[in-house]
Structure 1
Amino acid sequence: MSKRKQQLLRYVLKKRYIPSQNRRRVGQSLILLTVFIFFIFLINFAIIIGTDKKFGVDLSEGARKVHQTEVTVQAKRGTIYDRTGLPIAKDSTTYTVYAIIDKEYVSALKEILYVEPRQFNQVAQIFNKHLGLETDYVLQQLNQPKLKQVYFGTLGKNISYSTMTAIQQEMEAAGIKGIAFNTNPGRLYPNGNFASSFIGLANLVEDENDGSQRLEGQRGMEYALNSILAGQDGKIVYEKDSRGRIVPGTENVKEARVDGQDIYTTISADLQRSLETNMDIFFGKTKGRYVNATLVAAKTGEILATTQRPTYNPDTKEGVDDKDILQRSLLYQENFEPGSTMKVMTVAAAIDNGTFSPNEYYNRSEIKIVDATIRDWDVNADDLFAPLSLTHAQGFALSSNVGMVIQEQKMGDERWLNYLEKFRFGYPTRFGMEGEEAGLLPEDNVVSVAMTSFGQGILATQTQMLRGFGAIANDGIMLEPKFITALYDGNTDSVRLSQPEVVGKPVSAKAAADTRQYMIGVGTDPQFGTLRASDGPLIQVDGYNIAVKSGTAQIGKEDGTGYMEGPNATINSVVAMIPAEDPEFIMYVTVQQPESWTSAYWKDIFNPTLKEAMQLKDSLNLTTPAPTLAAVSKETEYKLGKIIGKQPGVTAGILRQQLVQPIILGNGAEIKKVSVEIGSNLSANQQILLLTDRFTMVPDMYGWTKENVDIFSDWTGIEIEYSGSGTKVVSQNVAIGSDLEKTKKIRINLGD
């Protein structure tokens, strides 16, 4: 026997007990074990009672998951309407197609419920016909091994009800089973290509927490106003029985659903359709790289129609991801050098300054500014269109760069830059859209400043240009561009209605009116007018004078080393105001790098659009926002958030989305004071002051309420002397842009 076995035997036989003793020992051990286990149970029970957790797991939450279920109730996304209540974008149901290829998927009667391999080619043909799917791709998906069902990518999603029905009918007629559809919330754009880049898109996104899907704005108005349109999803908790089924009548609302607000835009569906049609013709002829056209109500600043090319169809999604299509809005997300349409502001400033002499002759062969030589367009081309000696009125009609530089030199650089400031160039409009460019004032040298007089050396957006043109059309009164007429909250049956917002008066009424008269000559002067053909004005509507100005600007290279070269390396543009004597509408069109060009093309887009605008003028309800909401008497509340320390420009844009009218004092980086209490309710069209941390110049107070002038006085210590009996500022005796610290007193004239 081995040594280890001997040791084991000795240990076992060391203490041998009789059976009764062994039973007693076993009993004692069991009692001790029972007591030990009982104490462990008590300790665990105490821990569970005290913490409601075990092994880091929330026991109550676990019980709820077994006996309760939480359901997300999706909020209805607000509808976007035109000014009359026609839907532009609204919620809908879309469908995602999938194919069952599991050969075990049969009914109780052994009926085949899957797509059979012999039917694959037919399915591919049907999908190609209705969804544009490549047949090879469909066959590749259907032939995947070890899968029970397959989907078909992006083109197999967001399918409309009519397309889904057509597919179902063809599959049924062909005897094909196994093609099914999932339903999803979707966004319908019933008008197709309709201000697409401006309205934008809302697509489905998945919530990372619970996997639910919701619509979220991706671009344009849908993106900028997403917080207003989206609403807030609700949460409902239901009890479940032992089989996991929801017990009827046990619902408990955890979070109430809040539907998004409806937005009534300023867009007129009739004018927008007309503009889209006319744009197709214009774009087809010019074949420009980028083309944009916008129609604005002169007396309200409302954008009535806007479109650009190339574009996409938000309903079919055609072109949405096309790399050749600009995915930004040319209206407000692109800076450009405006060219000679800027001369409208130059002439108005010179008239206002008292330095414009329309009948004074000058030689336009060239003008030297330091080391730069500036010549007119026809002089540069060595093919004179008109004599070298012209009056300044004739030079404006001819679009003479030399004439404009002379006007700028007469005003002086400082005075001209002050006018650019008054027209708010270099400052984004902050009219409520996202991603807006700011433009750029000229570099601090005399050549660059002089060039801005004819629209080079300065960057602007089209909304900034339209804001400036608005001052000329509206007798010097400059209005904020607007795209919202009303916000309707169906949760409270309340509304916020928009009114025009005055943002300054850069020139006098006389200067604006005289400028429009000179603009008429651009289209009517038989010898010098750049927009006149042999048989009359290029841009015309029977019975009306039209104030017009054309522009041709060079395009700067992306690397900033100069200008692009070539016969088509320009941005051509025209602004038109109708009727010239008292404009109702402003239209602005730009075309970049046209492959084919003649000024006669302007007729194709301007004449029919302006004609229809004048015909529809009385039906547009320009003085009555959102007439379909006339019966709603309650105004939706909007409480001012904590904006101290926030960026003033961003804050101004958010406030304008809620139809509040902010006035930014200074050009600082953050808000230091606000003229109303944080948390207070702001009425629609209420005017509030936002004081920034850098406020050094006297502002343009035109249109301010007396209450806000008093607050300004309190903040700055400047004494205010009032005259007149109105409620708003109509003039001030201290020049805009004067040193604030040196200003001790301002005389304000009030009117209405």
Structure 2
Amino acid sequence: MSSKKNKLLRYVLKNRYIPSQNRRRVGQSLILLTVFIFFVFLINFAIIIGTDTKFGVDLSEGAKNVHQKEVTVQARRGTIYDRTGVPIAEDSTTYTVFAIIDKNYVSELKEILYVQSQQFNQVAEIFKKHLGMETDYVLKQLNQPELNQVYFGTLGKNISYSTMTTIQQEMTAAGIKGISFNASPGRMYPNGTFASIFVGLANLVENEDGSHSLNGVSGMEYYLNDILAGQDGKVVYEKDSYGRILPGTEDVKVKTVDGQDVYTTLSADLQRSLETNMSIFFNNARGQYANATLISAKTGEILATTQRPSYDSDTKEGLGEEGVLERSLLYQEAYEPGSTMKVMTVATSIDNGTFNANATYTNNEYVIADAKINDWTLNAGGSAVTLNFAQGFSLSSNVGMTILQQTMGDEKWLNYMSKFRFGYPTRFGMGGEAPGLVPDDNIVTIAMSSFGQGISVTQTQMLRAFSAIGNNGVMLQPKFISALYDPNTDSARLSQPEVMGKPVSEKAADQTLKLMIDVGTDPYFGTLYSHDIAAPAIQVEGYDVAVKSGTAEIASETGGGYIKGAYINSVVAMVPAEDPEFIMYVTIRQPEVFTMLSWQEIINPTLKEAMLLKDSLNLTEPAPALKAITTETEYKMKNLVGKDPGTSAEELRRQLVQPVILGNGSEIEKVSVEKGTNLIANQQILLLTSNLTEMPDMYGWTKENVDIFSEWTGIEVKYKKEGSKVIAQNVNTGSSLKDTKKITVTLGE
């Protein structure tokens, strides 16, 4: 151990100098160290100046964080209105209270801007009075000297505007500074249960920067989110040495763009009436699900629609409960329609020239291949009778409809189904739409589709088809948007009816309506004539009503035939029957307590209300509240080549453009307008898909689009008469395009 100590001493004392020399050596060392540190500083300074970074950290950004604050400015979410301007869904800002307790928070004039300790009890009393907070809790939050500001938990959030202003007024009266509020966007649905599943909901979501925005999660709120949401803005403020925002230093980085308002086609008065009537009907019938929709026969506009079970959009009562569907029965649920399909069967048979109302048949068993088709009267224990075809329609005879279909032939019948667009989603602007299914390779199911079995549809598809019967053979697209209003430019886009073709003639449609009257008035064969009241079950005083009922078996979801004893009951009603203004379609699945007169609880009062309000609905004038707006909002054509035609059509219709999809290919190959073109409201454009093999129904096309179709296909077009729209064509819809060289098109208005 001593040897190690001696070695250490010898090393320390080696080269030992006198004190003056030692001081000189220390000085020299310090000079060298200083020079080294100086060069290190210069090198770091050069790096910082040259790269604005150090150790991978953006120094300018760090400085901004210290001296600047970026604030998100919430865009106003567009309001959803009914057709006359009654709010259905609108922004409802809520507030969160906080208290500033930082004693350094004073104005330039040394005015105290924080809550003083002697004021804590007063603050607690006001919060208890208006927010229900416990005094001890408020005092505990305020007595935290290590914090600059404090919040007050759940009770301090979601405060209404009126409560917020009351608290502000009482604080001001008491001379209390430092109580402030943060605003948070909210969504209010003032009508409660009001087309709830169709309109949908918007919820608050947190953004990456910690701010909050409203986002649609279902229904219109979801599918129109891009239109309603707008764009949040960004503003940068300077901060003082204490991190407080300096007023007047704001720098707008991203301009706030408020969302557009949507004027729906719904009538608030008719919707409220339908909701009331539906509740009575559903509660008494005790079905699994029910849906009812009322449309304008002349425009295709959805005036009222609801389903059960449902929920209160404002209170959220019923939301998420067992039985409440997350999907819309109007367009997201496919089902077999049953005997209401016979309306189209009769109309096509008349149009085809193979319907003879007075020709007779016996409604006993009808055999096709290995299948036996029976009438419901025989299944109920009755005997076969001789009927003419008009009576067979009134009696809802499956055998009669099968004979009509067989007389037309499978090819002709399927061609008519294609004209009515069965098997194709409506693409009316909402998403997640069920496509439905038309049988095309089985002679039994093709025959069964004539009476509504073996075919699946959505309610929007049925309403689209019914519009042709109620509108002189001209089929209309269902619509739910009346107008779009852009508050940023004070401009609007107004909707007009969209023609989807003419599957049957005006004569065929009119004769079908007359036969539908008999369904309710014929005391011997009418399935909607009630012997209990010796009158039609469905009636509107002063008017004839065209009606047809349906009872369809429900197909098993496992593919094993039909569910025993399970049915969907339905009715379509049009009024006035001679020239319909309104079409109403109601379905109910598996009702427990149900008779023919059950329909009176929902259809009769709703149609009566519609006829009373007819003149005030402004069916020929979209969104009368926007009458003074003279500028149309622009919408630029996007690049749709290679995109899905269905979703593209939905997006276009949301902007009130009228797309015509040609073919059934999976991609769009050509578009009739160039990318970047401003599309005016109700402009008709062609979308050519990758698989166009059959002649489309050109009824309602513009002459310009016929010319483009001719250019795309190489088919020569000859025009007859004058006009801007197609009213007839000499090559049948569904004909093979490869065999078509020429076509004659008749123009009109």
Q: TM-score, structure 1 length as denominator?
A: 0.90
In the alignment, what sits opposite 1:103?
none
Cα distance in structure 2, aligned partners of 1:599 and 1:705: 45
**In 2, are the aligned partners of 1:89 and 1:190 still within 8 Å (CA)?**
yes
CA drift at 1:158: 5.5
CA drift at 1:48: 0.7
1:210 aligns with 2:209: yes
SS in 2 for 1:691: strand
Q: 1:115 to 1:630 in 2, by over 3 A?
A: closer
CA drift at 1:217: 0.8
Q: 1:295 to 1:97 in 2, by over 3 A?
A: farther
Structure 1 letter corresponding to 2:626: L
Deviation sequence 1:578-612 (CA, Å, 0-9, x none): 11111110000001111111010111111111111
SS in 2 for 1:307: strand
In the alignment, what sits opposite 1:87?
87
CA drift at 1:114: 9.9
SS in 2 for 1:521: helix
**In 2, are the aligned partners of 1:718 and 1:744 still within 8 Å (CA)?**
yes
- Match among 449, 464, 468 for residue 467 of structure 1: 464
CA drift at 1:266: 0.5
In the alignment, what sits opposite 1:248?
247
1:28 aligns with 2:37: no
SS in 1 for 2:583: strand
Structure 1 letter corresponding to 2:117: A
1:108 aligns with 2:91: no
Q: 1:624 to 1:458 in 2, by over 3 A?
A: same
CA drift at 1:21: 2.4
**In 2, are the aligned partners of 1:343 and 1:455 still within 8 Å (CA)?**
yes
SS in 2 for 1:565: strand
CA RMSD of aligned residues (A): 2.8
Poorly superposed stretches of 4+, deviation over 4 Å: 95-99, 110-116, 122-125, 148-153, 156-168, 179-183
CA drift at 1:28: 2.2
SS in 1 for 2:291: strand
1:720 aligns with 2:717: yes
Structure 2 letter corresponding to 1:513: D
CA drift at 1:23: 2.2
Structure 1 letter corresponding to 2:668: I
SS in 2 for 1:555: strand
Q: Which segment drifts farther, 349-358 or 646-655?
A: 349-358
**In 2, are the aligned partners of 1:224 and 1:434 still within 8 Å (CA)?**
yes
**In 2, are the aligned partners of 1:97 and 1:151 still within 8 Å (CA)?**
no
Cα distance in structure 1, aligned partners of 2:45 and 2:432: 59
In the alignment, what sits opposite 1:132?
none
In the alignment, what sits opposite 1:414?
411
1:587 aligns with 2:584: yes
In the alignment, what sits opposite 2:175?
none
In the alignment, what sits opposite 2:609?
612
**In 1, are the aligned partners of 2:429 and 2:650 still within 8 Å (CA)?**
yes
**In 2, are the aligned partners of 1:296 and 1:587 still within 8 Å (CA)?**
yes
In the alignment, what sits opposite 1:453?
450
**In 1, are the aligned partners of 2:414 and 2:440 still within 8 Å (CA)?**
no
1:543 aligns with 2:542: yes
Cα distance in structure 2, aligned partners of 1:110 and 1:4: 73
Cα distance in structure 1, aligned partners of 2:31 and 2:163: 76
In the alignment, what sits opposite 1:174?
none
CA drift at 1:40: 1.3
Cα distance in structure 2, aligned partners of 1:711 and 1:110: 78
**Where does structure 2 lack aligned partners over 5 or more consecutive residues?**
100-114, 142-149, 169-178
In the alignment, what sits opposite 1:555?
554
Q: How does 1:342-353 map to 2 (within 5 A)?
A: 342-353=341-352
**In 2, are the aligned partners of 1:200 and 1:218 still within 8 Å (CA)?**
yes
Q: How does 1:62-73 map to 2 (within 5 A)?
A: 62-73=62-73
Q: 1:108 to 1:9 in 2, by over 3 A?
A: same
Pairs aligned (count): 710
**In 1, are the aligned partners of 2:97 and 2:151 still within 8 Å (CA)?**
no
CA drift at 1:18: 2.1
**Where does structure 1 lack aligned partners over 5 or more consecutive residues?**
100-105, 126-137, 143-147, 169-178
Structure 1 letter corresponding to 2:656: L
In the alignment, what sits opposite 2:104?
none
Structure 2 letter corresponding to 1:89: A
Cα distance in structure 2, aligned partners of 1:13 and 1:167: 81
SS in 2 for 1:726: coil
- Match among 390, 415, 419 for residue 393 of structure 1: 390
1:40 aligns with 2:40: yes
CA drift at 1:276: 1.1
Cα distance in structure 1, aligned partners of 2:56 and 2:628: 57
**In 2, are the aligned partners of 1:272 and 1:304 still within 8 Å (CA)?**
yes
CA drift at 1:248: 2.0
CA drift at 1:443: 5.3
**In 2, are the aligned partners of 1:95 and 1:182 still within 8 Å (CA)?**
yes
CA drift at 1:10: 2.1
CA drift at 1:13: 2.5
**In 2, are the aligned partners of 1:98 and 1:151 still within 8 Å (CA)?**
no
Q: 1:360 to 1:316 in 2, by over 3 A?
A: same
In the alignment, what sits opposite 1:314?
313
CA drift at 1:22: 1.9
Structure 1 letter corresponding to 2:588: V
In the alignment, what sits opposite 1:192?
192
Q: How does 1:159-558 map to 2 (within 5 A)?
A: 184-207=184-207, 209-384=208-383, 388-442=385-439, 444-534=441-531, 535-558=534-557
In the alignment, what sits opposite 1:14?
14
In the alignment, what sits opposite 1:749?
746
Cα distance in structure 2, aligned partners of 1:159 and 1:382: 66
SS in 2 for 1:72: strand
In the alignment, what sits opposite 1:53?
53
Deviation sequence 1:36-56 (CA, Å, 0-9, x none): 212211111111111111111
SS in 2 for 1:662: strand
Q: 1:66 to 1:98 in 2, by over 3 A?
A: closer
Q: 1:159 to 1:11 in 2, by over 3 A?
A: closer
Q: 1:736 to 1:269 in 2, by over 3 A?
A: same
Q: 1:110 to 1:637 in 2, by over 3 A?
A: closer
**In 2, are the aligned partners of 1:98 and 1:152 still within 8 Å (CA)?**
no
Cα distance in structure 1, aligned partners of 2:417 and 2:714: 28
SS in 2 for 1:276: helix
**In 2, are the aligned partners of 1:346 and 1:453 still within 8 Å (CA)?**
yes
| Percent of paired sites with the same residue | 69
Deviation sequence 1:590-647 (CA, Å, 0-9, x none): 0111111101011111111111111111111111111111111000000011211110
SS in 2 for 1:421: helix
CA drift at 1:94: 3.3
Deviation sequence 1:635-687 (CA, Å, 0-9, x none): 00000112111100000000000000000111111111100010110000000
Structure 2 letter corresponding to 1:22: N
Cα distance in structure 2, aligned partners of 1:668 and 1:195: 34
Structure 2 letter corresponding to 1:220: G
**In 1, are the aligned partners of 2:530 and 2:596 still within 8 Å (CA)?**
no
SS in 2 for 1:11: helix
Deviation sequence 1:135-194 (CA, Å, 0-9, x none): xxx9xxx9xxxxx988569xx9767668999999xxxxxxxxxx9997532111111111
Q: 1:233 to 1:149 in 2, by over 3 A?
A: closer
Cα distance in structure 2, aligned partners of 1:511 and 1:311: 38
Q: 1:408 to 1:51 in 2, by over 3 A?
A: same
Q: 1:203 to 1:110 in 2, by over 3 A?
A: closer
**In 2, are the aligned partners of 1:301 and 1:480 still within 8 Å (CA)?**
yes
Q: TM-score, structure 2 length as denominator?
A: 0.90
Cα distance in structure 2, aligned partners of 1:160 and 1:305: 31
**In 1, are the aligned partners of 2:657 and 2:681 still within 8 Å (CA)?**
yes
In the alignment, what sits opposite 2:112?
none
Cα distance in structure 1, aligned partners of 2:185 and 2:162: 16
Q: 1:572 to 1:618 in 2, by over 3 A?
A: same
CA drift at 1:3: 2.3
Cα distance in structure 2, aligned partners of 1:6 and 1:157: 77
CA drift at 1:93: 2.2
**In 2, are the aligned partners of 1:94 and 1:183 still within 8 Å (CA)?**
yes
Cα distance in structure 1, aligned partners of 2:240 and 2:119: 33
In the alignment, what sits opposite 1:626?
623
In the alignment, what sits opposite 1:173?
none
